[in-house]
Structure formats: structure tokens, C-alpha cells
Structure 1
Amino acid sequence: MKNTNEDYSAIIDIGSNSMRLVIYQKEKTGRLYEVENVKAVSRLSNYLDHEHNLSPEGIDVLLNTLAHFADVLAIYPYRQFMCMATATIRQAHNRHELIKLVKQKFDWDMIILSEKEEAYYGYLAVVNSTSLTEGITVDMGGGSTEVTYFKNRELVHSHSFPFGTLTLKALYQDDLTEQENAQKVRQFVKDQFESLPWLRDRHIPLIGIGGSARNMAQIDQNEKSYPMAGLHQYQMNVYDINRILNYLISIPLSKREKVEGLSKDRADIIIPAIETFKVLYETVKADQFILSQKGLRDGINYSWLLANHDTAYFPNVLEESLNEIVMRYNQNMNQISHVHFLTRKIFNQLFAQQLKTLTQADWSYLSHAIYVFNLGQYIDSESSAQHTFYLLANQTIDGLLNHEKLIIALIASYKDSVTFDQFVKPYKSWLTKHERKKYRLLGSLLKLTYALDATKRQVIQNVDIQMKQKQIKLIVYYKKNPSAESYQAEKQKKHFEKAINKKVVLQFNQLN
């Protein structure tokens, strides 16, 4: 039975190691989100024969997998569709025959991405889903490895190396140990990277894309009992990479297949991949390794979404992501804008008084938290704080690193000091005692300013502050009856008083 919602898009990605069908549905925000993700481990590069043709066995694997995908696709009336192939089909001498076969059997136009296109889509995915303005991306597949350098979010250089996890694994010799084979791979990729002068000594982030980078990050998270869900923009350093690499080299394949976070179908090729990341990290002299969950297919999605725009990327990734959340959870944008105005007025006066060593960076966190304050009421008003914290801490928010996401989650979910301490407990090592106090203050301030728009009518027109040694007078100017706002503000001010260690006096003045 066909799905009646017709706003679907689909991408078939024919890679060297695996093939995927991903189906997306368009949200009311205009963004695309996954509704199906079907993977088949095909390892097509193993079917390139001595004449560099995809063998008859490989063609069977290709067509049989596509037939399975066609069955899944049949229930989705998609509007946009792309069937694309990368390194193995690109390198196959009989690629034109393969294009004809796919057309005859499925009536699909199989597009073979050029090396330049494949690298570009990876770059596009990163600049549209992170706040990074400069970096080196590496997308390692089974048959090729794409690297790009971008600065000020603009693509400067790109290159595709004709090696991937499967081709590097093919360098292994049976009479050598795992350590000796790893050393062989290390020297090979080092020579390859040294051939590109623009990779050297950049001292910028290295951003990993694709399944091998994702598996490495998953292993690291599991080893560290990482308390936050989500991999996008997860950070590692060279010590993490070395630790994981040395451990995996030291154990046999049978044990490697059982390592938490490592897909069984990647256990035999993960070491060449991590060796490659390590060598590239050292070549770039990277300051950190950041995982991007968004890759080639997402880059294509962004190219669709931005087809009618002047630039290839969103002006502000984080604002786009927050606006998407606002729409998804039916947040009130008029209230958000008004609370933003009131909160800014109070914050600026607190900042001018150098209270609790507040900084402009703190305003940035607070202003973002305004968008998503009390988000959890969408699920259940009684346990709104718990749902708010969980939703924000455990979903991808493009443009935010995990520690930034934690800060915004703590501020936006603020209920009281006890609940705040419960939420922050698993992350205590992430924040200093001073930072925890400061974010508790910002959370209590936000709770108070939202109380000043309790009826969502924007009856409070302005606020002013008079500060004394042990007291803050908050002068509130209104036009319409503010009784609900007055009641809620008096009720909630105790949290702000406790965080700021001063008595708060509310004075409501009517405007003429």
C-alpha cells in the first residue's frame, strides 16, 4: 500500500564498501529527515577483475541489491530521486555498460559522481551542519578518500585519493603481523598525503565523514562511558585515536568483531581507516578531530534545499537548527521574540554591573536557550523540565558542540536548583563549579522573564533594574492588566534570588 504523503525524496548511494537507500520526508520547516535507511554490505570493489571491469558476480550483487531497494521504494511516491555511484563504479572500465543495465532494469539514470563532486558534497554537508568556519574534511570510503580544505566556509582545495579502506586492506600480506601490515599502510598513506602541500601544518580541525570515522567515535564514546547521546560534532584528540588504534591492533579479528561501537562488517577494515585518520591528523597538525554525521548524501540534500539561494550554505547554521526545533515543537515565536527583548534588557544591566563575571559568551548561550525554553511541555507539562533537558541534550543541534548543547539544555530546562543538580550530575567534570553557578543563574533569570509573559500577550512593555548591595529592584512597565504576569513573577523570583544571592523586589508601573 502506497504512503499517501507525497513529499518524499530518495537517494541510492552505490559505494565501494556498501550500498544504501535513504528515503526522506520534508518537514514543515522545509528540511528533510530520514524515514528509511536501508544498508547492504556489497563490497563492490572486491569484484573489480584484473581488467578493471566489474565482474559478472559483482554485477549480480549490484542489480540484486538495487532490486531490493526498488521494492522498498515502491511504497513511497517520491518527488526527488537520485541513484548515484562513487569510486568503484567510477573506476570500472565497463561503467557505461552498468549505466545501461540499471536503466534497462529499473528505468533509473545512475549518475557516477566525479571525484570533485564527491569531495564537494562532503564539504557542503560539513559547512551546513557545523559552526566551523575553517577545517580539513576527510571522507573515507571503501575505494577512495576525499579531502577538502575550507576557509571562511568557502571551499579552497579538494582532492580525491584512489584508495579507501578496502584498497588499503588489499595491501596486507599474509606473512606479516597486524602491526607490520598497519605500518605498511601508514607509510603508504603518509606518502600520499605528503603529495598535497595544502594539507600540511594547518593547525585547524580535522573533520571525519563516513562509516569508519563514525565507528571510531562510537568506540571512543563507549570506552569513556560518554553520558550524552549523539555523535555529530563529537570531538577527539590524537591521544584518543592512538589509544583506540593500539587496542584494535593488539586483539585478533574474532575479538575485534565484538568491540562495542564497531560494526561487525567493518572489523576487518577499521585499522587501515584509523591509521589513515592518524596520519592525516599528524600531517595537518590538527588541533582536534571532529566527527560529522552529515556526509555525501546530506550534501546532496543541502544542494537541493539551497538550489534557489545565492550561496551554497545557510547564513547561520545554529539559527537554522533552532528555528527548525521551534517549528517542530510548536513553540510560540511571538513570545520568544518578546522574552528575548526582556531578557536582553535585564542581562545587559547585570553585565554592566559585572555581576557573577557574566560575559558576552554567556549572553550567546542564554539567547539560544530562549528559543527552546520549556520545550518539554510539548510532551508533558508536568514533567516539562525533564523532557526539555533530555530532548536538548540528546538530539543533534547543528552548529553546537556537545558541551555547548549541555549548557543550553541546562539553562532552557531550569526548574529549580535541585532539578538542575540532578541534570548536571553526570556532566560535572565538563563544567567548573563557577560555571555551574553561572548557568543556574541564567536558567533562573530565563524562568523569571518567561513568567513576565505568562499569558503570551506581551503586556509587559519594558523592564529596568535598580541595584543595591543586597537588593535588586526590577521595575516592570505594563500597558494591559498584568495580574497573571505579576503572580507568576512573584512565584518564580525566589529561584533568581537564590542564584544571585540578593533580594528581588518587583515593582509594576503602568504606562500612560
Structure 2
Amino acid sequence: MEKLAIIDMGSNSIRFVVMQIADNKSYSLQYQEKETIRLGHGLSQTGVISEEGIEKAMTCLHVYKHIMEVMDIKKCCAVATAAVRNASNGEEFLKRINEETGITMSVITGEREAYLGYLGVINTIAMKDFLIFDLGGASVEMTLVRDGEAVHSLSVPIGAVTLTEKFGTQGNPDEDAIASLTKFVRKKLGDVDWIQDINLPIVGIGGTARNFAKMDQRATNYELPKLHNYIMSVDHFDTLYYEITTRSSANRKKIPGLSSERSDLIVAGAAVIKTIFEMTGSPEMVVSGCGLREGLFYEHYADCCHLPSPRFSDILDFSVRNFLGTLSGVIINQAHYDQVTRIAVKLFDELQPLHGYGPRQRLLLQTAARMHDVGKIINFYDHARHSAFMIAHAPLYGLTQLEQIITGFIAGFHHGISRKIVRAYRYANMPSSDDWVMIRKLSTILALAEASDLTYEQIVTDIDVTMAENVAVMILTTTPGATYNAADYEMKQLSKQFKKEFGASLLLVWK
């Protein structure tokens, strides 16, 4: 087992995370802290990091050093970005950090910062073509991704803190100040020809992007309090932008979801995002909660586990395996999981003429099957309901937020459809009526697959389904000499549910 501390000292805030890599190579987040230190405050005027900012940072770093000692952490990856990169006293500051805390912190280039942000996004959001922007306090890093590969990247020295100071937008900026700010940002980004009219989604990293997601979620009464992979349309952004730039400072703070720590920087940050929207012609912003720190970790993880690349080819498969690996071995019967998954996918394919669903729905069923029993780690009783909640909130990547909720519901009904689960689960209103039809059908398939391995013996080797009039004849091939009475009884209990969901009777034939 190994623990790694990561420190990301930016121009506005400093973050500290502890990641653990277990002996089975699964990893998990163990600890996280964030403080606003405003290293970039006054930097554009003086060219140096202020003493106040330095002292705030040092206070945090002494605490982080103590936590590393308490947690017996030997490895620390500490990086500083634009504020230290641009300040004339940056090297002196880093020397003091090392002398007082023993932490060796390195300054990374804007290009490397952009690459790390790319790694954080490409391993956690299933997209192929998009533009990443990482808006910090003193710079914005941008990366154009085509077919999953970073083809262009650069760092532009404009950030929420430095722009706020330059144009005085922290209080009650008038139209002229905002116009000057926007003109300046457009000029700074104007030479970046590879972002012009690309009409691709933009992926936003950083506090400003996350705060817009929070505001949009509050404005739309979005039920799931999760920011990573939240999708916000340009129309919704424009509505919030208008509110932010027309309200007084006091009224701006009353916008639901707007962080009090960011209310003074939000106007400048909003101007940068709006300019990126306008220049790219992008239809939506996908908010990423993963960026530089995750990129640093993935590099370390790939090296530690001797992987060929810090990029994972199938992020959903990787994250499911990783999550299962973090759970206690007591509750993971891998042979049962694999059998239920195999049978569920086979049934999906055989019943395709009845349900009419395609590859994406097949993937949701497969994922639900792979994780259907994880709720046992909480309690065997009601474990299907616990599984639903855990799947919906697990760090799974490769699904949309709604798809992850739907996958949880499919798993939640693997012992049969229960109104109790629907009533108890707070996200029942997120899936549409059509989604619920699909959930009920796929959960019925999963319930049949689970019932077929009731005794955990993996006796079913193959399943074929033929239709005879309005009857689905399910032919189950078993291992020679297997006793299938229990599985037969359990599967027949689902006949009524099958007919209700698929409009056909179910006949089981064992051989």
C-alpha cells in the first residue's frame, strides 16, 4: 500500500489531497483540504507575491506537513502555477517553503499545466472532441482535443484574480468597465486561431466553472448535488451572466449557488468564459471536477503500476474495476458478479426484438450487473437499495450523470421491482417516463440473471431465447449433472413481472 500527497498551489487557492494505492492497485481519495490564499492578489501591479499571501500559504503548508507526518506519507508531489511562475520573488518563496517545511515544490509551465488538466479530463469524461479551459487566478490554460488526443494547448496570462484587479470588477462595475474587460480578454484570446468557430463542447476546469454549475443547478432545481460532468447550455450560461454583470455587489451575493468566496471574482471569470463561448461557437459547457491534481495522480499511478500510459483506454471499465477493488474482499464474489453480468448481457441480446434497445442501454445493464451486490458492504438486508445509492454516487467515469443514476436504479431492482425503493430514493424524478420503461425492462433482465445464479454455482453455461407466438421460450444450458431446481423456482417468480414489462409469457426450458 502507498499513500501520495498532492499539493496544488494556485493563484487563488491551495489544495491538498491524499491518495492511497492499495496492494491490489485500486486507488481512493483519503483526504482533501482547500483554502483561499489569493497569491495572485496585487501581482499584476507589483510583480511580486504579497507578504499576506505568502503567510497564508505558509500556514497551510505547515498544516499539510503535519498531516503527512500523522498519516505517515513519504511521497509528496507539490506544484505551483501561474502566480509563482510570474512573480519575481517566486523562487525565494519556494526556497522558504522547503527550508521551513521540507516540502519541495516545483513550478510547472503553462503547457504542462494544460497537459495535466487534459489527463484529468480525458480519464474521467467520455468525450472525444472538445476544448478544455482551466481558468485560474492568474492564467487560463486551453487544450483542443480531437479524437481523444490533445492537438493544441497553450497558457494565456489572464485569470480571475488578475483581471478583477486590473478592471476593478470586484464591486459594482459599470457597463464601460465590463466592456473594457471583455475587449481585453477577446484581444488576449484573439490570436488563438485554433479555437475559432470550432462548434465543440467546452470543458471547464476551475472554481469559476464549478460555481456556474452550482448556480445553474440551483436555478433549475437540479436534484443531484454533483458537479463533475454536469452539462450547462450556452443559453443557461448567458442568463446567469446577465444576472452577474447587472446586479450590484450586494445583490450579486444573493444569487443562489454563488460562493461567497468567489463573489468578487465571478464577474471577471464570467467574462473569460463568455468570450470562449462566443469565439468557439460552443453549444454547451461540461464542468469537470477533475483537472491538474488528478492529472498528477494519474501520472504517478501509471508509473507506480507500470502502465504503458497515464491515459486509460476504457474509463468506465477502469473505474468500475477500481471501485470494486476499493471494497472489502468479503463482499466481492467475483465469480458470481461475472456470471450474472455474462447472463444479463446474453439475455439482453437474445431479447433485443422484444425491447428494441441498443449498445448504450446494453452498457448500462452490463455496468449495473457488474456492481449489483455492492450494497452488501452496508448491510445484506435491503442491499439492492444500498447498491442503487452506491452506484449513483460512486466515482464512475464514462457515463453521464443521468446514466449513472439510471444504472443505480437498474441494480436496485435486481431482486424484483419494488415501489419501496422508488419512494425511498430521492432521485426518482430525474429519469423520464421513457427512461423508467427502460429501467424496468433492464432490471427484469438483471433479476433473471441474478436468479439463474441463485446458488452461486455458475451452473448456466448458455441461454437462447426463441419466440413462439406470444411466448418467450428461454432455453438454459447447464453444466452436466447440475441441480437447477432452486434457480428454476426463483426465475419463475419473475414470470409475472416479465409479462408485464415485455408483453410476453415466459417459458423456461432446462437442458
> Within 5 Å, which residues of 2 pair with 1:168-207?
168-173=163-168, 177-207=173-203
One-letter identity of the residue aligned with 2:43:
L
Q: Distance in 1 between matches of 2:228 and 2:22?
A: 20
SS of equivalent residue, structure 1 residue 340: helix
Partner of 2:210: 214
User: Where in structure 2 are there 5+ consecutive unaligned residues?
Assistant: none
Partner of 1:365: 364
Q: Distance in 1 between matches of 2:392 and 2:213?
A: 18
Partner of 1:252: 248
Q: Distance in 1 between matches of 2:237 and 2:44?
A: 34
> Aligned pair in 2 of structure 1 residues 199, 491: CA closer, same or farther (>3 Å)?
same
Partner of 2:468: 468
> Aligned pair in 2 of structure 1 residues 465, 142: CA closer, same or farther (>3 Å)?
same
Cα shift readout 1:14-59 (whole Å, capped 9, x = no counterpart): 1111122222223455344333222221111125385523344443
Partner of 1:275: 271
2:47 to 38, 49, 52: 52
Q: CA deviation at 1:143?
A: 0.7
Cα shift readout 1:335-375 (whole Å, capped 9, x = no counterpart): 23222332333222222xx2232223322222222112243
2:133 to 132, 138, 152: 138
Q: CA deviation at 1:395?
A: 3.4
Partner of 1:235: 231
SS of equivalent residue, structure 1 residue 45: coil
Deviates more, 1:171-180 or 1:204-213: 171-180
Q: CA deviation at 1:446?
A: 0.8
Q: CA deviation at 1:157?
A: 0.7
Q: CA deviation at 1:178?
A: 4.1
- Assess if the C-alpha contact under 8 Å between 1:129 and 1:399 holds in 2: yes
Deviates more, 1:324-333 or 1:138-147: 324-333
> Aligned pair in 2 of structure 1 residues 252, 470: CA closer, same or farther (>3 Å)?
same
- Assess if the C-alpha contact under 8 Å between 2:13 and 2:35 holds in 1: yes
1:443 aligns to 2:453 (yes or no): no
- Assess if the C-alpha contact under 8 Å between 1:230 and 1:395 holds in 2: no
2:38 to 43, 53, 60: 43
Partner of 1:398: 397
- Assess if the C-alpha contact under 8 Å between 2:68 and 2:74 holds in 1: no
Cα shift readout 1:439-463 (whole Å, capped 9, x = no counterpart): 2111101101110011111112222
Q: Distance in 2 between matches of 1:26 and 1:179?
A: 51
Partner of 1:104: 99
One-letter identity of the residue aligned with 1:335:
H
Size of the aligned set, in residue pairs, is: 501
Q: CA deviation at 1:274?
A: 1.8
Q: CA deviation at 1:276?
A: 1.2
Q: Distance in 2 between matches of 1:232 and 1:54?
A: 31
Q: Distance in 2 between matches of 1:343 and 1:63?
A: 55
Q: CA deviation at 1:377?
A: 2.9
1:328 to 321, 326, 329: 326
> Within 5 Å, which residues of 2 pair with 1:238-387?
238-307=234-303, 308-329=306-327, 330-351=331-352, 354-387=353-386
TM-score (norm 1): 0.91
- Assess if the C-alpha contact under 8 Å between 2:41 and 2:50 holds in 1: no
Q: CA deviation at 1:199?
A: 0.6
Q: Distance in 1 between matches of 2:139 and 2:311?
A: 25
One-letter identity of the residue aligned with 1:182:
I
Q: CA deviation at 1:162?
A: 0.5
SS of equivalent residue, structure 2 residue 40: helix
- Assess if the C-alpha contact under 8 Å between 2:301 and 2:310 holds in 1: no
- Assess if the C-alpha contact under 8 Å between 1:83 and 1:111 holds in 2: yes
Q: Distance in 1 between matches of 2:360 and 2:54?
A: 56
Deviates more, 1:18-27 or 1:58-67: 58-67
> Aligned pair in 2 of structure 1 residues 420, 23: CA closer, same or farther (>3 Å)?
closer
Q: Distance in 1 between matches of 2:407 and 2:495?
A: 21
SS of equivalent residue, structure 1 residue 150: strand
> Within 5 Å, which residues of 2 pair with 1:138-157?
138-157=133-152
Q: CA deviation at 1:134?
A: 1.8
One-letter identity of the residue aligned with 1:218:
K
Cα shift readout 1:258-281 (whole Å, capped 9, x = no counterpart): 443222111100121122112112
One-letter identity of the residue aligned with 2:465:
I
Partner of 1:3: none
Q: CA deviation at 1:419?
A: 4.8
2:509 to 503, 507, 510: 507
Partner of 1:411: 410
- Assess if the C-alpha contact under 8 Å between 1:318 and 1:400 holds in 2: yes
Q: Distance in 2 between matches of 1:295 and 1:440?
A: 36
One-letter identity of the residue aligned with 2:450:
Y
SS of equivalent residue, structure 1 residue 484: helix
1:19 to 14, 18, 21: 14
- Assess if the C-alpha contact under 8 Å between 1:410 and 1:423 holds in 2: no
One-letter identity of the residue aligned with 1:162:
P
> Aligned pair in 2 of structure 1 residues 99, 180: CA closer, same or farther (>3 Å)?
same
- Assess if the C-alpha contact under 8 Å between 1:135 and 1:205 holds in 2: yes
Cα shift readout 1:224-260 (whole Å, capped 9, x = no counterpart): 1111232110001111111111222333323333443
SS of equivalent residue, structure 2 residue 455: coil
One-letter identity of the residue aligned with 2:180:
K
Partner of 1:477: 477
SS of equivalent residue, structure 2 residue 78: strand
One-letter identity of the residue aligned with 2:277:
Y
- Assess if the C-alpha contact under 8 Å between 1:373 and 1:388 holds in 2: yes
Partner of 2:118: 123
Q: Distance in 2 between matches of 1:134 and 1:60?
A: 42
Q: CA deviation at 1:102?
A: 1.9
- Assess if the C-alpha contact under 8 Å between 1:368 and 1:408 holds in 2: yes
Q: CA deviation at 1:204?
A: 1.5
> Aligned pair in 2 of structure 1 residues 44, 503: CA closer, same or farther (>3 Å)?
same
SS of equivalent residue, structure 1 residue 396: coil
One-letter identity of the residue aligned with 1:237:
S
Q: Distance in 1 between matches of 2:195 and 2:102?
A: 42
Q: CA deviation at 1:505?
A: 1.4
> Aligned pair in 2 of structure 1 residues 383, 136: CA closer, same or farther (>3 Å)?
same
One-letter identity of the residue aligned with 1:68:
V
Deviates more, 1:40-49 or 1:240-249: 40-49
Q: CA deviation at 1:429?
A: 6.4
Q: CA deviation at 1:138?
A: 0.7
- Assess if the C-alpha contact under 8 Å between 1:229 and 1:395 holds in 2: no
> Aligned pair in 2 of structure 1 residues 24, 327: CA closer, same or farther (>3 Å)?
closer
| Identity %, equivalent residues | 26
Q: Distance in 2 between matches of 1:444 and 1:101?
A: 63
1:80 aligns to 2:75 (yes or no): yes
Q: Distance in 2 between matches of 1:384 and 1:367?
A: 19
Deviates more, 1:323-332 or 1:49-58: 49-58
TM-score (norm 2): 0.92
